Amino acid sequence: MDAPAELLQHQALALLRQGHHAEAIAAYRRLLAAHPGLADAWYNLGYLLKAEGRFDEALAAYGRALALGIAQPEEVHVNRAVIHADHLRRDAEAERELQAALALRPDYAPALLNLGNLHEERGERAQAIACYERLLARPPSDPRERDLGSEALARLAHLRPPSAQDDPLLTRLENAAAEATGEEVRANLLFALGRAFDRLGLYDRAFDAFVRANRSARSLSSGYDLAIAQRRTDALIAAFATPAAMPADRTPLPPEPLFVCGMFRSGSTLVEQALAAHPRITAGGELDFLPRLAAGPLAPFPASMAVPAPERDAALADAYRAHLLRLFPQATASAYVTDKRPDNFLLIGLIKRLFPRAKIVHTVRHPLDNGLSLFMQHLSPAVAAYANDLADIGHHYGEYRRLMAHWKTLYADSILDFDYDAFVRDPEPALRRLFDFLGLEWDPRCLDFHQLGNTVKTASYWQVRRPLYAEASGRWRHYARHLAPLREALARAGVAAPEAD
C-alpha cells in the first residue's frame, strides 16, 4: 500500500473508533476503491454498515472479507449469522453461517452459543441443550470463552431447571457468579439463579439473587435519570399536542402495520403469538425501524416533529412498508403485520403521523406484577435503564402511564387496552374483543397459539410455547414484603396497585 492509502486507512480506523460511522464508511469506501484486496478493511466496513442498519450491504462487505481470506473467518460467519437471524429474519441462512463457522472450528464458542439461541427461538429445546452442553464440555481457552460458557450455563438452567433445592446446578450457578470477572456475566448467572429459586418456591432466596443480579447490571450503565425521563415525556406531549391529520390521498395498502406496545414484560409477546395464529396476520416481532428513524433521519426527535411535514412523513411511511415487505414477502396476502416493540409507546405520535389509520394494541398488566417481572429479567440498559431498581421502575411506570393518557386523548378510537391478567383468566372473550377491534373474523386456532412453529425473538420465547397459564398473574404476592420501593414510587406517580387483582 502506498503512503496516501496508509494514511486513509489510519483515518478510517480512527473515525470508526470515535463512533463517526458515516465518515468512516465513506473513508473505507474510498480506500477500497483504490485497494479492493484489503480483507480487514472490508470487515470493518461490514461492521460499520451493520451498525447503521444497512444489513444487506454489511453482508456483502463481510462476504468480500471472506473471499479475500480474512484471518479468523469463523468470526465473520457468526457476524453474518447475527444479521440474518436478528435483523433480516432469515433463520435458515443464519444456521448455514453458524454451521460454516463450526466446520472451520468445531469448538468455536460464539457459534455454539448463537446456534443454541437460534434453536431456542425456534422452539427446538433438545437441539439448544445439545449446543450448550457441547460448549460447556471443553475447558475455556480464554476469558471470553469462559464468559460464553457462563451464558450457556445460565441458558441450561432455564431449559432444564433444578427440581429440588439440593440440585447441584444451583451451587454451580452460585459458584460461577462468584468467580465471574465481569459484571455482565455475573448478572446473567444471578438472574438465572433467581429464576431457578422462584420456580422452586424459594422466594426470599430468589429475591436476594435478583437484587444481586440487578446490582451487577446497574454497575454497567449510567443509570436512570428521573428528571430526564420527565422531560422526555413533556417533550413528546408538546411535540404531538394535536391529532395527526388524515390525508385524503393516503389510501392504505395491505398489509397494514399493527403496533403492539406497552411496558416491557406486560404480555406483548403472548398477544403477538395469539395474533400470529390468525391466517390474516403476519408476526413481525420487535422491529427497530421506528427507533432508528427517531435516532437518525428525524433527529433531534421529537423536536423535529413540531412542524408538520406531510411529504416527509409519506416518504418515511413508504420506506417502512418497503422494509416490512423485504423482511416478510409472504405478508402481501395478510391484512396486518405486527410490530411488537414494547417501547414504541413512546412513538405513538410518530406512528400516527406516518400511518394515520394505524391501530395500536396496548398491553397492560397489574403494575406490581409488571414491575416485579422487569426486576426479574436482564434487560439491556440501553432500552430499560430503569429496570435494575424497584423505585426507578415505579417512576418509569408513572411516566409511561402519563404519556399513554395523552395518546388516548388524541387517538382513543385507535388504541385498545389488552389486559394480560384478564386474558390468562379467560382468553376467548379477550381475543374476540381484540379481533373485533381489528375488523377480523374470529378464528378458534388463535386459542392454540402455543402450537405455532414460528421463531420468537424475545425473552418470552418458551412461555408462549406452553398452553396458556396463569401462575405469572399475581406472582407479586410471593414477594409482597420486598416490594415497598415499587409500591411507594407507583403511589407518588398516582398509579393504583390494587391488592385484589
Q: What is the DSSP string of 305-336?
A: GSS--HHHHHHHHHHHHHHHHHH-GGGGG-SE
**How many alpha carbons fall within 13 Å on the CB side of residue 38?**
21
Do 418 and 432 contact (CB within 8 A), yes or no?
no
Secondary structure class of 364 (helix, strand, coil)? strand
Cell numbers given for 338: 405486527
Helices (H), 68-202: 73-82, 91-104, 109-121, 125-136, 143-159, 168-179, 183-199
Angle between helices 203-218 and 183-199 (to 10 degrees): 160
Helices (H), 219-305: 226-239, 268-276, 289-295
Model-level pTM? 0.89
Residuewise pLDDT in 10s, the chain (501 residues): 677 778 888 999 999 999 999 999 999 999 999 999 999 999 999 999 999 989 999 999 999 999 999 999 999 999 999 999 999 989 999 999 999 999 999 999 999 999 999 999 888 999 999 999 999 998 877 888 889 999 999 999 999 999 999 999 999 999 999 999 899 999 999 999 999 999 999 999 999 999 999 999 999 999 999 999 999 999 999 999 999 987 765 666 779 999 999 999 999 999 999 999 999 999 999 999 999 999 999 999 999 998 889 999 999 999 999 999 999 998 988 999 999 999 999 999 999 999 999 999 999 999 999 999 999 999 988 889 999 999 999 999 999 999 999 999 999 999 999 999 999 999 999 999 999 999 999 999 888 876 655 455 555 444 544 555 566 789 999 999 999 999 999 999 999 988 754
Q: How confident is the model over 208-267, as pLDDT tens digits?
A: 999 999 999 999 999 999 999 999 999 999 999 999 987 765 666 779 999 999 999 999
Composition of the chain by helix, strand, coil, percent to 5: 65, 5, 30
How many CB atoms within 10 Å of residue 380? 11
The H or E element that residue 418 is part of is strand 415-419
| Region for 363 from its dihedrals, namely left if φ exceeds 0, alpha if ψ lies in -120 to 50, beta otherwise | beta
| Domain architecture of the chain: domains with CATH | 236-449 (3.40.50.300)
Q: Which long-range contacts (CB under 8 A, 24 or more apart) does 407-415 make?
A: 407/345, 407/348, 407/349, 407/360, 410/240, 410/242, 410/243, 410/349, 410/352, 411/243, 411/348, 411/352, 411/360, 414/352, 414/357, 414/358, 414/359, 414/360, 415/348, 415/360, 415/362
Return the amino acid letter for 362.
H
